Amino acid sequence: MERRVGYRGDIRIKKRKEPNKPLLGVLKAGTVEGREVQDILIDTGCSRTMVHEDNVPPEKILQGEATAIRCAHGDTVLYPLACVDISVGGKHLEVEAAVSNTLPTAVLLGTDVPELSELLSEKPKEEKCEEEECDVFVVTRAGAREQQRLEEERRQQEEDSGVQPNPAGLGDEEEMATDTQECTEEEPLTGMNSDLDVLDDSLFVEPREKTRLTRSQRRSILERHRRLVNTGTTLCTTMDDFKKYQEEDKTLDGVKQAVMEKLQGKRVQFFEQDGLLFQKWKDQNGEETEQLVVPERCRNEIMKIAHDTPFAGHLGREKTIQRILQRFYWPGIFRDVAYYCRSCPSCQKSSSKGVLRAPLVPLPIMATPFKRIAMDIVGPLPKSRSRKQYILVICDYATRFPEAIPMRSIDAAHIAEELLHLFARVGVPEEILTDQGSNFTSQLLTEIYQMLRVRPIRTTPYHPQTDGLVERFNGTLKSMLRKVVTKEGKDWDKLIPYLLFAYREVPQASTGFSPFELVYGRTVRGPLDVIRDTWTATKDADESVIAH
């Protein structure tokens, strides 16, 4: 007895990516020194851009310049350097790249290119996704004959109705019917078996249980989270080492020549003191600043401390340059700091795209510190370990001096208590600018204002631009918090004092001075000053009471 088995099953699977298929969105076409190439590879795991020597003219190679690159297999190889012009993705790049004769692609773009993230963000036009759902039909011999019978009936109906079938479609169906007749009755079509090979047991393995951490592992993770500053510094710690680095640095030859020839500009002068190179710089107001000249070996750590740490707060290019120029200098400092800030991973992940806005109307200039203050609330934020989830932000309109106070509750009683603490340190202001929140317009604060002769100023509802000073600082504070908080985000309230120091230390664009200088009348001593004093071995001169 012949058993007729015919079925047609729809199995929905995911296609696996072909092993030899190039990665879409990583290989791009462009030009190298005006020559068109089709294989510019973008690699986020590569720290140095490399170019094949066939694409580099001999005059572009820097004579005597080489760089050591450690490959994936552990070997360190010296490659010559060249200044190469590369155009890719509509961007023109001038890159100092390593030259190799064994590179499998024309160009290998690494993370030393600031525009790397922008090139990766461009989505390529793809005809299909790498993983897409498709239908696989399993047709047995009996099923194929049944399908052929149905096609013949349909064709007969079309002939009876006078409708002519598509010749191309008719040919395809006849070819399919011929192929199916060669199959045995009990075996499925062999042409479909290759597509079913992907349905192995690995697709149906049950998920494993979540790995549990040991006590030592949890303790190690918590210890990493508690570290507020982890620079991983390789800075020299003695004055003799720093002198040695200055003497061996070839990038400081121009500075050394200027010291020997005693060249002096209008606002810049190089000199040597105790065997160390300094630059004396005079600003527009005639004030002189002595800047220690930093060798190339120590520059990256200086930029890291001035930008990445919680004491620096991941501020922008201008703030970071101003912070460094108060103590240090080296040739090309503006270019190096700009590239460092643009290539900072934390800033690239959390910085928002700029949006053009209408210009703000300038507010009256305040000449007396803490005569007018602005106040606002940031939150709710994720609760910290001390169960705080709000920040009371207060800014002085004269000095731009900010205060940020973590709070558990933002009712009128707690805000009044923090205001009295502030008044005990800086005095009672004449005006307080706030929005029309219920906690700011409460009866308690109104009575305190009347008792202390403080004039409250309210902003228009749904128009925070009136209180632009504190609103702008709110955005800066939240941006700095996003970049320095740990993965769990439970220690943000402990980082507030360090971020306030970072903001108060650098000059403000509106005043030209830092909030510390306008409040205390002096420049405060920060981490960069400690490093400079270590390198220069500065000692405080003893001054007698009579001389003072």
pLDDT digit string (tens) for 197-233? 433 443 334 444 445 667 676 666 555 544 433 444 4
Q: Tell me, what's the pLDDT at 543?
A: 63
Identify whether 147 is part of a domain.
Answer: yes
22 part of a folded domain: no
The mean pLDDT of the chain is 74
What whole-number distance in Å separates Cα of residue 81 and Cα of residue 96? 7
Q: Are residues 397 and 314 in the same domain?
A: no
- In terms of DSSP H, where are the helices of 261-378? 296-307, 317-325, 333-342, 345-350
Q: How many domains does one find in the chain?
A: 4
Instruction: Provide the β-strand partners of residue 289.
Output: 281
Mean pLDDT of 48-77: 79
Are 259 and 275 in contact by the 8 Å Cβ rule? The answer is no
**Residue 234 DSSP class:** -
97, 121, 145 - which closes a domain: 121
- Shared domain check, 517 and 377: yes
Say if residue 107's pLDDT is above 70.
yes
Residues of the chain above pLDDT 90, percent = 4
Handedness of CA 346, 349, 351, 356 (dihedral sign): positive
**What pLDDT, in 10s, does the model give residues 11-48?**
444 444 444 444 444 777 888 887 888 888 888 778 88
DSSP state of 98: E
- Among residues 468, 391, 393, 398, the alpha carbon closest in space to that of 431 is found at 398
| 463 and 328 inside one domain | no
Encode pLDDT of 404-422 as tens digits: 999 988 888 899 989 999 9
Looking at mean pLDDT, say which of 63-67, 128-132, 364-368, 406-410 comes out highest: 406-410
pLDDT tens, 247-261?
888 888 888 888 887
Task: Output the six-digit token pair for 417.
Answer: 């208590």
Q: What does the pLDDT read at residue 170? A: 39
> For the domain that residue 330 is a member of, what is the CATH number?
1.10.340.70
Q: Give the Cα separation of 346 and 365 in Å (integer).
A: 35
420 and 490 inside one domain: yes
Residues 413 and 501 grouped into a single domain:
yes
Whether residue 166 is found in the same domain as residue 276? no
Q: Are 327 and 290 in contact (CB under 8 A)?
A: no
Count of C-beta atoms within a 10 Å radius of residue 81: 18
Task: Note whether residue 293 is domain-resident.
Answer: yes
Q: Are residues 390 and 516 in the same domain?
A: yes
Q: What is the CATH number of the domain that holds 468?
A: 3.30.420.10
DSSP run (H or E) holding 248: helix 239-248
> Smallest Cα–Cα separation from 295: which of 272, 319, 318, 276?
276
Same domain? 403 vs 464:
yes
| Whether residue 110 is found in the same domain as residue 152 | no
Say if 226 falls within a structural domain: no
What's the average model confidence in pLDDT over 536-540? 70
170 in any annotated domain: yes
The reply to whether 510 and 420 lie within a common domain is yes
Going by pLDDT thresholds of 50, 70 and 90, the confidence category of residue 542 is low
CB 46 within 8 A of CB 110: yes
For 87, the domain range is 27-121
Long-range contacts of 512-515 (CB under 8 A, 24+ apart): 515/396, 515/399, 515/400, 515/401, 515/402
Buried b (16+ CB within 10 A) or exposed e, 157-167: eeeeeeeeeee
- pLDDT above 70 covers a percentage of the chain that reads 71
Q: What is the pLDDT of residue 14?
A: 44
Measured torsion, CA atoms of residues 56, 58, 59, 60, in degrees rounded to the nearest 10: 30
| Non-local CB neighbours of 294 within 8 Å, separated by 6+ positions | 302, 328, 329, 330
**Domain boundary pick from 84, 103, 121:** 121
Q: Exposed, middle or buried: residue 9 (CB in 10 Å: 0-12, 13-18, 19+)? A: exposed
Is residue 476 assigned to a domain? yes
**Res 289 pLDDT > 70:** yes
The pLDDT-based confidence of 470 (bands split at 50, 70, 90) is: confident
Which of 185-199, 250-264, 482-496, 518-532 is predicted with the least confidence, judged by mean pLDDT? Answer: 185-199
Residues 172, 152, single domain; the answer is yes
Is residue 130's pLDDT more than 70?
A: no
Classify residue 276: in a domain, yes or no. yes
